[in-house]
Structure 1
Protein backbone atom coordinates (compact mmCIF):
# COMPACT_ATOMS: atom_id res chain seq x y z
CA UNK A 1 0.00 0.00 0.00
CA UNK A 2 1.29 3.47 -0.90
CA UNK A 3 2.17 5.77 1.97
CA UNK A 4 -0.44 8.32 3.03
CA UNK A 5 0.21 11.73 1.49
CA UNK A 6 -0.76 15.02 3.13
CA UNK A 7 -1.19 18.43 1.54
CA UNK A 8 -0.76 21.37 3.92
CA UNK A 9 -2.07 24.88 3.15
CA UNK A 10 -1.15 27.94 5.23
CA UNK A 11 2.34 28.29 6.69
CA UNK A 12 1.86 31.23 9.00
CA UNK A 13 3.15 31.34 12.56
CA UNK A 14 0.98 28.37 13.55
CA UNK A 15 0.97 26.37 10.34
CA UNK A 16 4.76 26.23 10.02
CA UNK A 17 5.17 24.32 13.26
CA UNK A 18 2.20 22.06 12.58
CA UNK A 19 3.44 21.09 9.12
CA UNK A 20 6.96 20.55 10.45
CA UNK A 21 5.67 18.12 13.07
CA UNK A 22 3.86 16.13 10.39
CA UNK A 23 7.11 15.89 8.44
CA UNK A 24 9.05 14.84 11.54
CA UNK A 25 6.42 12.17 12.26
CA UNK A 26 7.12 10.53 8.91
CA UNK A 27 4.21 11.76 6.81
CA UNK A 28 4.79 12.59 3.16
CA UNK A 29 3.84 16.28 3.27
CA UNK A 30 3.38 18.65 0.37
CA UNK A 31 3.11 22.35 1.25
CA UNK A 32 1.71 25.51 -0.32
CA UNK A 33 1.71 29.07 0.93
CA UNK A 34 0.99 32.42 -0.67
CA UNK A 35 4.53 33.62 0.14
CA UNK A 36 7.42 31.31 -0.83
CA UNK A 37 9.71 31.73 2.20
CA UNK A 38 7.92 29.30 4.54
CA UNK A 39 7.62 26.76 1.71
CA UNK A 40 11.38 26.82 1.18
CA UNK A 41 11.98 26.33 4.92
CA UNK A 42 9.64 23.31 5.07
CA UNK A 43 11.18 21.79 1.93
CA UNK A 44 14.58 21.97 3.64
CA UNK A 45 13.04 19.89 6.45
CA UNK A 46 11.76 17.24 4.06
CA UNK A 47 8.43 18.50 2.70
CA UNK A 48 7.56 18.64 -0.98
CA UNK A 49 6.59 21.97 -2.62
CA UNK A 50 3.29 22.33 -4.47
CA UNK A 51 2.98 24.56 -7.51
CA UNK A 52 -0.62 25.40 -6.71
CA UNK A 53 -3.65 24.42 -4.65
CA UNK A 54 -4.69 21.83 -7.21
CA UNK A 55 -1.48 20.01 -6.40
CA UNK A 56 -2.29 20.12 -2.69
CA UNK A 57 -5.73 18.61 -3.31
CA UNK A 58 -4.06 15.80 -5.23
CA UNK A 59 -2.92 14.32 -1.89
CA UNK A 60 -4.88 11.83 0.21
CA UNK A 61 -5.61 14.31 3.03
CA UNK A 62 -5.53 18.10 3.01
CA UNK A 63 -4.82 20.09 6.18
CA UNK A 64 -5.42 23.85 6.08
CA UNK A 65 -4.50 26.53 8.61
CA UNK A 66 -5.56 29.90 7.21
CA UNK A 67 -6.26 33.16 9.00
CA UNK A 68 -9.96 33.87 8.57
CA UNK A 69 -13.18 33.38 6.61
CA UNK A 70 -11.97 35.39 3.64
CA UNK A 71 -8.76 33.39 3.25
CA UNK A 72 -10.57 30.06 3.58
CA UNK A 73 -13.34 30.95 1.16
CA UNK A 74 -11.16 32.56 -1.49
CA UNK A 75 -8.52 29.83 -1.48
CA UNK A 76 -10.34 26.59 -0.72
CA UNK A 77 -13.97 26.88 -1.80
CA UNK A 78 -13.49 27.12 -5.55
CA UNK A 79 -15.86 24.49 -7.02
CA UNK A 80 -13.35 23.81 -9.78
CA UNK A 81 -10.66 23.03 -7.22
CA UNK A 82 -12.90 20.65 -5.31
CA UNK A 83 -14.32 19.08 -8.47
CA UNK A 84 -10.86 17.96 -9.56
CA UNK A 85 -9.63 16.96 -6.11
CA UNK A 86 -8.29 13.49 -5.40
CA UNK A 87 -8.23 14.14 -1.65
CA UNK A 88 -10.65 12.07 0.41
CA UNK A 89 -10.53 14.31 3.49
CA UNK A 90 -10.02 18.00 4.25
CA UNK A 91 -9.18 18.99 7.84
CA UNK A 92 -9.82 22.70 8.30
CA UNK A 93 -7.93 23.89 11.39
CA UNK A 94 -8.75 27.59 11.04
CA UNK A 95 -11.01 29.55 13.38
CA UNK A 96 -13.94 30.49 11.14
CA UNK A 97 -17.53 31.64 11.52
CA UNK A 98 -20.34 29.17 12.10
CA UNK A 99 -22.14 30.04 8.83
CA UNK A 100 -18.96 29.41 6.83
CA UNK A 101 -18.31 26.19 8.76
CA UNK A 102 -21.74 24.89 7.73
CA UNK A 103 -21.27 25.99 4.10
CA UNK A 104 -17.87 24.31 4.00
CA UNK A 105 -19.31 21.00 5.18
CA UNK A 106 -22.10 21.19 2.58
CA UNK A 107 -19.72 22.12 -0.24
CA UNK A 108 -17.35 19.27 0.52
CA UNK A 109 -20.23 16.81 0.76
CA UNK A 110 -21.40 17.91 -2.70
CA UNK A 111 -17.97 16.96 -4.05
CA UNK A 112 -17.76 13.76 -2.01
CA UNK A 113 -14.82 14.96 0.07
CA UNK A 114 -14.82 14.27 3.78
CA UNK A 115 -14.65 17.37 5.95
CA UNK A 116 -13.58 17.96 9.56
CA UNK A 117 -13.20 21.12 11.60
CA UNK A 118 -10.26 21.02 14.01
CA UNK A 119 -9.24 24.45 15.32
CA UNK A 120 -6.58 24.51 18.01
CA UNK A 121 -5.71 26.01 21.37
CA UNK A 122 -2.10 27.13 21.67
CA UNK A 123 0.33 29.73 20.44
CA UNK A 124 3.13 29.36 17.86
CA UNK A 125 5.65 27.94 20.33
CA UNK A 126 3.09 25.32 21.41
CA UNK A 127 2.49 24.40 17.77
CA UNK A 128 6.24 23.99 17.22
CA UNK A 129 6.45 21.68 20.23
CA UNK A 130 3.54 19.53 19.01
CA UNK A 131 1.59 20.29 22.20
CA UNK A 132 -1.57 21.83 20.78
CA UNK A 133 -5.01 21.00 22.09
CA UNK A 134 -7.08 20.12 19.03
CA UNK A 135 -10.82 20.80 19.07
CA UNK A 136 -12.27 18.39 16.51
CA UNK A 137 -15.75 17.66 15.23
CA UNK A 138 -17.20 15.63 12.38
CA UNK A 139 -18.18 12.05 11.58
CA UNK A 140 -16.48 9.44 13.78
CA UNK A 141 -14.98 7.53 10.84
CA UNK A 142 -13.27 10.69 9.59
CA UNK A 143 -12.01 11.56 13.06
CA UNK A 144 -10.43 8.10 13.22
CA UNK A 145 -8.68 8.71 9.89
CA UNK A 146 -7.37 12.04 11.13
CA UNK A 147 -6.18 10.86 14.54
CA UNK A 148 -2.60 9.96 13.48
CA UNK A 149 -2.19 13.49 12.13
CA UNK A 150 -3.70 15.02 15.27
CA UNK A 151 -1.31 12.95 17.40
CA UNK A 152 1.63 14.38 15.47
CA UNK A 153 0.48 17.99 15.93
CA UNK A 154 -1.07 18.01 19.40
CA UNK A 155 -1.02 16.60 22.91
CA UNK A 156 -4.76 15.91 23.05
CA UNK A 157 -7.71 15.80 20.69
CA UNK A 158 -11.05 16.87 22.12
CA UNK A 159 -13.98 15.37 20.19
CA UNK A 160 -16.82 17.85 20.37
CA UNK A 161 -19.57 16.50 18.13
CA UNK A 162 -20.51 14.94 14.82
CA UNK A 163 -21.09 18.24 12.98
CA UNK A 164 -17.94 20.16 12.04
CA UNK A 165 -19.31 23.56 13.05
CA UNK A 166 -19.48 22.37 16.68
CA UNK A 167 -15.68 22.50 16.91
CA UNK A 168 -15.73 26.06 15.58
CA UNK A 169 -18.37 27.01 18.16
CA UNK A 170 -16.16 25.63 20.94
CA UNK A 171 -13.07 27.49 19.66
CA UNK A 172 -14.95 30.77 19.31
CA UNK A 173 -16.26 30.35 22.86
CA UNK A 174 -12.78 29.60 24.19
CA UNK A 175 -11.23 32.63 22.49
CA UNK A 176 -14.07 34.82 23.75
CA UNK A 177 -13.29 33.73 27.30
CA UNK A 178 -9.57 34.40 26.76
CA UNK A 179 -10.37 37.90 25.51
CA UNK A 180 -12.49 38.46 28.63
CA UNK A 181 -9.57 37.30 30.81
CA UNK A 182 -7.15 39.64 29.05
CA UNK A 183 -9.51 42.61 29.42
CA UNK A 184 -10.18 41.89 33.09
CA UNK A 185 -6.43 41.60 33.74
CA UNK A 186 -5.90 44.90 31.96
CA UNK A 187 -8.52 46.68 34.02
CA UNK A 188 -7.38 45.14 37.32
CA UNK A 189 -3.70 45.98 36.77
CA UNK A 190 -4.61 49.52 35.72
CA UNK A 191 -6.61 49.98 38.92
CA UNK A 192 -3.72 48.64 40.99
CA UNK A 193 -1.15 50.80 39.19
CA UNK A 194 -3.28 53.93 39.60
CA UNK A 195 -3.29 53.18 43.34
CA UNK A 196 0.47 52.77 43.53
CA UNK A 197 0.68 48.97 43.33
CA UNK A 198 3.12 47.51 40.82
CA UNK A 199 1.21 45.52 38.16
CA UNK A 200 3.80 42.72 38.33
CA UNK A 201 3.20 42.36 42.05
CA UNK A 202 -0.55 42.08 41.56
CA UNK A 203 -0.12 39.50 38.78
CA UNK A 204 2.24 37.44 40.92
CA UNK A 205 -0.28 37.51 43.77
CA UNK A 206 -3.23 36.54 41.57
CA UNK A 207 -1.51 33.78 39.62
CA UNK A 208 -0.19 32.16 42.79
CA UNK A 209 -3.53 32.28 44.64
CA UNK A 210 -6.88 32.91 42.96
CA UNK A 211 -6.06 32.51 39.26
CA UNK A 212 -3.32 29.96 38.53
CA UNK A 213 -2.96 28.59 35.01
CA UNK A 214 -1.43 29.52 31.67
CA UNK A 215 -3.94 32.19 30.62
CA UNK A 216 -3.56 34.47 33.64
CA UNK A 217 0.12 33.66 34.16
CA UNK A 218 1.15 34.15 30.52
CA UNK A 219 -1.00 37.13 29.65
CA UNK A 220 -0.62 38.62 33.11
CA UNK A 221 3.16 38.83 32.74
CA UNK A 222 2.86 40.30 29.23
CA UNK A 223 0.44 42.96 30.44
CA UNK A 224 2.39 43.87 33.57
CA UNK A 225 5.62 44.18 31.52
CA UNK A 226 3.84 45.82 28.56
CA UNK A 227 5.56 43.19 26.42
CA UNK A 228 3.48 42.73 23.27
CA UNK A 229 6.07 41.73 20.69
CA UNK A 230 6.68 39.39 19.05
CA UNK A 231 3.00 38.68 18.63
CA UNK A 232 1.96 35.15 19.48
CA UNK A 233 -1.56 35.98 18.32
CA UNK A 234 -2.10 39.26 16.47
CA UNK A 235 -4.55 41.70 18.00
CA UNK A 236 -6.46 42.11 14.76
CA UNK A 237 -7.15 38.35 14.78
CA UNK A 238 -8.35 38.63 18.37
CA UNK A 239 -10.79 41.31 17.25
CA UNK A 240 -11.94 38.99 14.49
CA UNK A 241 -12.68 36.26 17.04
CA UNK A 242 -14.59 38.65 19.33
CA UNK A 243 -16.73 39.57 16.33
CA UNK A 244 -17.23 35.88 15.53
CA UNK A 245 -18.50 35.35 19.08
CA UNK A 246 -20.93 38.26 18.80
CA UNK A 247 -22.14 36.94 15.44
CA UNK A 248 -22.62 33.43 16.87
CA UNK A 249 -24.41 34.86 19.89
CA UNK A 250 -26.82 36.73 17.65
CA UNK A 251 -27.45 33.64 15.55
CA UNK A 252 -28.17 31.48 18.60
CA UNK A 253 -30.01 34.22 20.58
CA UNK A 254 -27.34 34.13 23.30
CA UNK A 255 -26.67 37.58 24.79
CA UNK A 256 -22.98 38.39 25.22
CA UNK A 257 -23.12 41.78 26.92
CA UNK A 258 -19.39 41.89 27.66
CA UNK A 259 -18.74 41.24 23.99
CA UNK A 260 -19.62 44.84 23.13
CA UNK A 261 -17.07 46.08 25.66
CA UNK A 262 -14.42 43.83 24.12
CA UNK A 263 -15.26 44.89 20.57
CA UNK A 264 -14.89 48.57 21.44
CA UNK A 265 -11.60 47.95 23.28
CA UNK A 266 -10.14 46.06 20.32
CA UNK A 267 -11.34 48.74 17.89
CA UNK A 268 -9.65 51.37 20.07
CA UNK A 269 -6.42 49.34 20.05
CA UNK A 270 -6.45 48.95 16.27
CA UNK A 271 -7.14 52.67 15.87
CA UNK A 272 -4.03 53.38 17.97
CA UNK A 273 -1.81 51.23 15.73
CA UNK A 274 -1.71 47.99 17.73
CA UNK A 275 -3.27 45.66 15.13
CA UNK A 276 -0.11 43.61 14.58
CA UNK A 277 1.02 43.45 18.19
CA UNK A 278 0.01 40.59 20.47
CA UNK A 279 -3.67 40.73 21.38
CA UNK A 280 -2.71 41.32 25.01
CA UNK A 281 -1.83 44.86 23.80
CA UNK A 282 -5.53 45.61 24.23
CA UNK A 283 -4.41 46.31 27.81
CA UNK A 284 -3.05 49.63 26.56
CA UNK A 285 -6.64 50.76 26.05
CA UNK A 286 -7.38 50.30 29.75
CA UNK A 287 -4.20 52.23 30.59
CA UNK A 288 -5.21 55.13 28.33
CA UNK A 289 -8.69 55.25 29.84
CA UNK A 290 -7.14 55.33 33.30
CA UNK A 291 -4.81 58.19 32.35
CA UNK A 292 -1.69 56.11 33.00
CA UNK A 293 0.16 57.02 29.80
Structure 2
Protein backbone atom coordinates (compact mmCIF):
# COMPACT_ATOMS: atom_id res chain seq x y z
CA UNK A 1 0.00 0.00 0.00
CA UNK A 2 1.32 3.43 -0.93
CA UNK A 3 1.42 6.15 1.68
CA UNK A 4 4.16 8.49 0.53
CA UNK A 5 4.72 9.80 -2.99
CA UNK A 6 7.48 12.02 -4.34
CA UNK A 7 6.74 14.03 -7.50
CA UNK A 8 9.86 15.10 -9.34
CA UNK A 9 9.07 17.97 -11.68
CA UNK A 10 6.29 20.52 -11.12
CA UNK A 11 5.76 21.99 -14.54
CA UNK A 12 2.34 22.07 -16.20
CA UNK A 13 1.76 18.33 -15.85
CA UNK A 14 3.59 17.62 -12.61
CA UNK A 15 1.76 20.37 -10.75
CA UNK A 16 -1.64 19.01 -11.73
CA UNK A 17 -0.63 15.46 -10.88
CA UNK A 18 0.70 16.51 -7.48
CA UNK A 19 -2.56 18.28 -6.64
CA UNK A 20 -4.55 15.21 -7.65
CA UNK A 21 -2.39 13.05 -5.39
CA UNK A 22 -2.90 15.41 -2.46
CA UNK A 23 -6.68 15.39 -3.02
CA UNK A 24 -6.58 11.59 -2.88
CA UNK A 25 -5.16 11.78 0.63
CA UNK A 26 -1.62 10.65 -0.17
CA UNK A 27 1.43 12.08 1.59
CA UNK A 28 3.03 14.08 -1.23
CA UNK A 29 6.47 15.66 -1.44
CA UNK A 30 7.37 17.72 -4.49
CA UNK A 31 10.63 18.91 -5.97
CA UNK A 32 11.48 21.08 -8.96
CA UNK A 33 14.77 22.38 -10.28
CA UNK A 34 13.28 25.90 -10.19
CA UNK A 35 12.00 25.97 -6.63
CA UNK A 36 9.57 28.82 -7.27
CA UNK A 37 7.47 26.46 -9.42
CA UNK A 38 7.15 24.00 -6.53
CA UNK A 39 6.47 26.36 -3.62
CA UNK A 40 2.81 27.11 -4.47
CA UNK A 41 2.02 23.42 -3.93
CA UNK A 42 2.64 23.89 -0.21
CA UNK A 43 -0.70 25.73 -0.10
CA UNK A 44 -2.35 22.57 -1.47
CA UNK A 45 -0.88 20.41 1.26
CA UNK A 46 2.28 19.06 -0.36
CA UNK A 47 5.69 19.16 1.27
CA UNK A 48 8.26 21.06 -0.80
CA UNK A 49 11.75 19.55 -0.75
CA UNK A 50 14.91 21.59 -1.09
CA UNK A 51 16.70 18.97 -3.16
CA UNK A 52 15.98 15.79 -5.08
CA UNK A 53 17.44 13.41 -2.51
CA UNK A 54 15.37 14.95 0.27
CA UNK A 55 12.22 14.61 -1.84
CA UNK A 56 12.52 10.85 -2.31
CA UNK A 57 13.68 9.93 1.18
CA UNK A 58 11.04 7.61 2.61
CA UNK A 59 8.90 7.62 -0.56
CA UNK A 60 6.99 4.46 -1.45
CA UNK A 61 6.54 5.70 -5.03
CA UNK A 62 8.64 8.22 -6.97
CA UNK A 63 6.92 9.86 -9.95
CA UNK A 64 9.05 11.64 -12.53
CA UNK A 65 7.48 14.22 -14.86
CA UNK A 66 10.33 16.12 -16.48
CA UNK A 67 11.03 17.43 -19.98
CA UNK A 68 13.19 14.69 -21.51
CA UNK A 69 15.35 11.64 -20.84
CA UNK A 70 18.45 13.69 -20.03
CA UNK A 71 16.59 15.71 -17.41
CA UNK A 72 15.09 12.59 -15.81
CA UNK A 73 18.42 10.74 -15.77
CA UNK A 74 20.30 13.69 -14.27
CA UNK A 75 17.80 14.03 -11.43
CA UNK A 76 17.39 10.34 -10.66
CA UNK A 77 21.11 9.63 -10.71
CA UNK A 78 21.25 11.95 -7.70
CA UNK A 79 18.06 10.76 -6.07
CA UNK A 80 17.84 6.98 -6.43
CA UNK A 81 20.38 6.18 -3.73
CA UNK A 82 18.19 8.05 -1.23
CA UNK A 83 15.06 6.01 -2.00
CA UNK A 84 13.99 3.11 0.23
CA UNK A 85 14.75 -0.33 -1.16
CA UNK A 86 11.03 -1.04 -1.60
CA UNK A 87 10.38 2.15 -3.58
CA UNK A 88 8.91 1.97 -7.08
CA UNK A 89 9.90 4.53 -9.68
CA UNK A 90 6.97 5.47 -11.93
CA UNK A 91 8.38 7.19 -15.00
CA UNK A 92 5.64 9.28 -16.63
CA UNK A 93 7.70 11.70 -18.76
CA UNK A 94 7.65 11.16 -22.53
CA UNK A 95 11.27 10.21 -23.23
CA UNK A 96 11.13 7.91 -26.27
CA UNK A 97 12.12 4.28 -26.65
CA UNK A 98 15.87 4.67 -26.20
CA UNK A 99 15.30 6.97 -23.24
CA UNK A 100 12.96 4.48 -21.60
CA UNK A 101 15.53 1.71 -21.87
CA UNK A 102 18.25 3.97 -20.50
CA UNK A 103 16.16 4.91 -17.45
CA UNK A 104 15.09 1.29 -16.81
CA UNK A 105 18.76 0.32 -16.75
CA UNK A 106 19.42 3.13 -14.26
CA UNK A 107 16.68 1.82 -11.95
CA UNK A 108 18.09 -1.69 -12.27
CA UNK A 109 21.56 -0.52 -11.24
CA UNK A 110 20.07 0.69 -7.96
CA UNK A 111 17.82 -2.35 -7.56
CA UNK A 112 14.60 -0.34 -7.56
CA UNK A 113 11.26 -1.29 -9.07
CA UNK A 114 10.52 0.56 -12.29
CA UNK A 115 7.39 1.12 -14.34
CA UNK A 116 7.22 2.83 -17.72
CA UNK A 117 3.97 4.78 -17.37
CA UNK A 118 3.60 7.76 -19.71
CA UNK A 119 0.27 9.56 -19.52
CA UNK A 120 -2.16 10.72 -22.16
CA UNK A 121 -3.62 14.14 -21.47
CA UNK A 122 -2.65 17.75 -20.92
CA UNK A 123 -3.01 20.41 -18.24
CA UNK A 124 -6.72 20.15 -17.44
CA UNK A 125 -6.88 16.32 -17.17
CA UNK A 126 -3.76 16.44 -14.99
CA UNK A 127 -5.40 18.95 -12.66
CA UNK A 128 -8.65 16.97 -12.52
CA UNK A 129 -7.10 13.52 -12.08
CA UNK A 130 -8.38 12.43 -15.48
CA UNK A 131 -5.22 11.39 -17.29
CA UNK A 132 -4.95 8.00 -19.00
CA UNK A 133 -2.01 6.04 -17.62
CA UNK A 134 -0.24 3.76 -20.10
CA UNK A 135 1.62 1.34 -17.86
CA UNK A 136 4.17 -1.32 -18.70
CA UNK A 137 6.39 -3.40 -16.52
CA UNK A 138 5.97 -6.05 -13.81
CA UNK A 139 2.29 -6.37 -12.81
CA UNK A 140 3.53 -7.51 -9.39
CA UNK A 141 4.18 -3.83 -8.67
CA UNK A 142 0.57 -2.86 -9.35
CA UNK A 143 -0.69 -2.95 -5.74
CA UNK A 144 1.96 -0.46 -4.67
CA UNK A 145 1.28 2.01 -7.48
CA UNK A 146 -2.49 1.57 -7.83
CA UNK A 147 -3.37 4.44 -5.44
CA UNK A 148 -1.13 6.74 -7.47
CA UNK A 149 -2.64 5.71 -10.81
CA UNK A 150 -6.16 6.02 -9.41
CA UNK A 151 -5.41 9.54 -8.15
CA UNK A 152 -3.92 10.93 -11.34
CA UNK A 153 -5.96 9.07 -13.92
CA UNK A 154 -9.47 8.18 -14.99
CA UNK A 155 -8.18 4.98 -16.58
CA UNK A 156 -5.07 2.82 -16.48
CA UNK A 157 -4.15 0.73 -19.51
CA UNK A 158 -1.67 -2.04 -18.65
CA UNK A 159 -0.03 -2.40 -22.05
CA UNK A 160 2.27 -5.28 -21.18
CA UNK A 161 4.94 -6.67 -18.90
CA UNK A 162 7.69 -5.55 -21.26
CA UNK A 163 9.24 -2.27 -20.12
CA UNK A 164 8.74 0.27 -22.90
CA UNK A 165 5.38 -0.96 -24.18
CA UNK A 166 3.69 1.95 -22.43
CA UNK A 167 5.88 4.26 -24.44
CA UNK A 168 5.26 2.37 -27.67
CA UNK A 169 1.54 3.00 -27.30
CA UNK A 170 2.09 6.61 -26.13
CA UNK A 171 4.14 7.46 -29.22
CA UNK A 172 1.47 5.97 -31.49
CA UNK A 173 -1.19 8.02 -29.69
CA UNK A 174 0.89 11.18 -29.79
CA UNK A 175 1.50 10.73 -33.51
CA UNK A 176 -2.26 11.05 -33.96
CA UNK A 177 -2.63 14.00 -31.56
CA UNK A 178 0.22 15.99 -33.12
CA UNK A 179 -0.98 15.24 -36.67
CA UNK A 180 -4.51 16.44 -35.86
CA UNK A 181 -3.14 19.63 -34.32
CA UNK A 182 -0.91 20.42 -37.30
CA UNK A 183 -3.67 19.58 -39.81
CA UNK A 184 -6.10 21.83 -37.95
CA UNK A 185 -3.54 24.63 -38.10
CA UNK A 186 -3.19 24.14 -41.83
CA UNK A 187 -6.98 24.26 -42.38
CA UNK A 188 -7.38 27.37 -40.21
CA UNK A 189 -4.49 29.13 -41.97
CA UNK A 190 -5.73 28.13 -45.44
CA UNK A 191 -9.28 29.33 -44.82
CA UNK A 192 -8.01 32.62 -43.44
CA UNK A 193 -5.52 33.04 -46.28
CA UNK A 194 -8.26 32.47 -48.87
CA UNK A 195 -10.48 35.09 -47.25
CA UNK A 196 -12.94 32.69 -45.60
CA UNK A 197 -13.90 32.93 -41.93
CA UNK A 198 -11.94 30.03 -40.36
CA UNK A 199 -14.71 29.50 -37.83
CA UNK A 200 -16.79 28.16 -40.71
CA UNK A 201 -14.31 25.28 -41.03
CA UNK A 202 -14.99 24.24 -37.43
CA UNK A 203 -18.72 24.81 -37.77
CA UNK A 204 -18.90 22.71 -40.93
CA UNK A 205 -17.16 19.64 -39.51
CA UNK A 206 -18.97 19.90 -36.14
CA UNK A 207 -20.93 16.76 -35.35
CA UNK A 208 -19.97 14.97 -38.55
CA UNK A 209 -17.74 12.07 -39.36
CA UNK A 210 -14.71 14.33 -39.85
CA UNK A 211 -15.17 16.16 -36.55
CA UNK A 212 -12.81 15.81 -33.62
CA UNK A 213 -13.10 17.37 -30.14
CA UNK A 214 -9.37 18.01 -30.31
CA UNK A 215 -9.68 19.87 -33.61
CA UNK A 216 -12.46 21.99 -32.11
CA UNK A 217 -10.47 22.89 -28.99
CA UNK A 218 -7.21 23.63 -30.78
CA UNK A 219 -8.98 25.30 -33.70
CA UNK A 220 -10.78 27.77 -31.42
CA UNK A 221 -7.47 28.55 -29.76
CA UNK A 222 -5.85 29.21 -33.14
CA UNK A 223 -8.67 31.50 -34.25
CA UNK A 224 -8.55 33.46 -30.98
CA UNK A 225 -4.78 33.80 -31.23
CA UNK A 226 -4.35 33.15 -27.52
CA UNK A 227 -2.20 30.21 -26.52
CA UNK A 228 -2.07 29.55 -22.75
CA UNK A 229 -0.12 26.30 -22.58
CA UNK A 230 -2.00 23.07 -21.97
CA UNK A 231 0.94 21.32 -23.65
CA UNK A 232 3.82 23.45 -24.84
CA UNK A 233 4.91 23.72 -28.45
CA UNK A 234 8.47 22.93 -27.36
CA UNK A 235 7.26 19.70 -25.77
CA UNK A 236 5.25 18.81 -28.86
CA UNK A 237 8.26 19.36 -31.11
CA UNK A 238 10.36 17.16 -28.82
CA UNK A 239 7.74 14.41 -28.93
CA UNK A 240 7.49 14.66 -32.73
CA UNK A 241 11.21 13.96 -32.97
CA UNK A 242 10.84 10.95 -30.68
CA UNK A 243 8.03 9.66 -32.90
CA UNK A 244 10.23 10.06 -36.00
CA UNK A 245 12.87 7.93 -34.27
CA UNK A 246 10.26 5.31 -33.34
CA UNK A 247 8.91 5.16 -36.90
CA UNK A 248 12.42 4.54 -38.20
CA UNK A 249 12.96 1.82 -35.61
CA UNK A 250 9.70 0.18 -36.69
CA UNK A 251 10.71 0.35 -40.35
CA UNK A 252 7.86 2.74 -41.18
CA UNK A 253 7.98 5.87 -43.33
CA UNK A 254 8.47 8.93 -41.05
CA UNK A 255 7.70 11.55 -43.72
CA UNK A 256 4.44 12.80 -42.21
CA UNK A 257 5.86 13.17 -38.71
CA UNK A 258 9.01 14.77 -40.09
CA UNK A 259 6.79 17.45 -41.63
CA UNK A 260 4.93 17.90 -38.34
CA UNK A 261 8.23 18.18 -36.50
CA UNK A 262 9.50 20.79 -38.93
CA UNK A 263 6.34 22.88 -38.58
CA UNK A 264 6.35 22.75 -34.80
CA UNK A 265 10.06 23.49 -34.60
CA UNK A 266 9.63 26.45 -36.96
CA UNK A 267 6.85 27.96 -34.84
CA UNK A 268 8.79 27.31 -31.64
CA UNK A 269 11.91 29.00 -33.04
CA UNK A 270 9.76 32.01 -33.99
CA UNK A 271 9.16 32.73 -30.31
CA UNK A 272 6.22 30.44 -29.49
CA UNK A 273 8.05 27.56 -27.74
CA UNK A 274 6.39 28.10 -24.37
CA UNK A 275 2.92 28.64 -25.79
CA UNK A 276 0.38 25.90 -26.39
CA UNK A 277 1.14 23.56 -29.28
CA UNK A 278 -1.81 25.09 -31.14
CA UNK A 279 0.66 27.90 -31.90
CA UNK A 280 1.91 25.64 -34.70
CA UNK A 281 -0.55 27.68 -36.78
CA UNK A 282 2.15 30.38 -36.97
CA UNK A 283 4.30 28.03 -39.05
CA UNK A 284 1.84 28.40 -41.94
CA UNK A 285 2.14 32.19 -42.15
- TM class by shorter chain equals over 0.9
Cα distance in 1 for residues equivalent to 2:188 and 2:7: 41
CA shift in 2, pair 1:48/1:211, >3 Å: same
Contact in 2 for aligned 1:183/1:283 (Cα 8 Å): yes
| Deviation of 1:3 (Å) | 7.0
Q: CA-to-partner distance for each residue in 1:141-181, whole Å, 9 max, x for gaps?
A: 11332111111111111111112311112222222211111
Residue 67 of structure 2 aligns with which residue? 67
Contact in 2 for aligned 1:136/1:158 (Cα 8 Å): yes
Is 2:95 the partner of 1:96? Answer: yes
Residue 174 of structure 2 aligns with which residue? 175
Contact in 2 for aligned 1:77/1:104 (Cα 8 Å): no
Cα distance in 1 for residues equivalent to 2:183 and 2:2: 49
In the alignment, structure 1 segments of 5+ residues that lack a partner are 289-293
Q: CA-to-partner distance for each residue in 1:81-121, whole Å, 9 max, x for gaps?
A: 43342152000110102111012112212322100121112
Q: CA RMSD in A?
A: 1.8
Q: TM-score, normalised by structure 2?
A: 0.92
Q: TM-score, normalised by structure 1?
A: 0.90
Residue 233 of structure 2 aligns with which residue? 235
Residue 77 of structure 2 aligns with which residue? 77
Cα distance in 2 for residues equivalent to 1:282 and 1:251: 26
Contact in 2 for aligned 1:203/1:224 (Cα 8 Å): no
Residue 276 of structure 1 aligns with which residue? 274
Task: Give 4+ residue runs of structure 1 displaced > 6 Å after superposition.
Answer: none
Structure 1, 46-55 or 119-128: larger mean CA deviation: 46-55
Cα distance in 1 for residues equivalent to 2:147 and 2:37: 24
Structural mapping, 1:250-289, within 5 Å: 250-286=248-284, 288=285
Residue 187 of structure 2 aligns with which residue? 188
CA shift in 2, pair 1:166/1:116, >3 Å: same
Structural mapping, 1:10-21, within 5 Å: 10-21=9-20
Structure 1, 34-43 or 240-249: larger mean CA deviation: 34-43
Residue 122 of structure 2 aligns with which residue? 123
CA shift in 2, pair 1:38/1:274, >3 Å: closer
Contact in 1 for aligned 2:133/2:153 (Cα 8 Å): yes
Contact in 1 for aligned 2:241/2:258 (Cα 8 Å): no
Contact in 1 for aligned 2:2/2:60 (Cα 8 Å): no
Number of equivalent positions: 283
CA shift in 2, pair 1:213/1:267, >3 Å: closer
Residue 77 of structure 1: SS of its match in structure 2? helix
Cα distance in 1 for residues equivalent to 2:2 and 2:264: 46
CA shift in 2, pair 1:85/1:249, >3 Å: same
Structure 1, 112-121 or 209-218: larger mean CA deviation: 209-218
Structural mapping, 1:194-213, within 5 Å: 194-213=193-212
Residue 137 of structure 2 aligns with which residue? 138
Residue 159 of structure 1 aligns with which residue? 158
Residue 43 of structure 2 aligns with which residue? 44
Residue 291 of structure 1 aligns with which residue? none
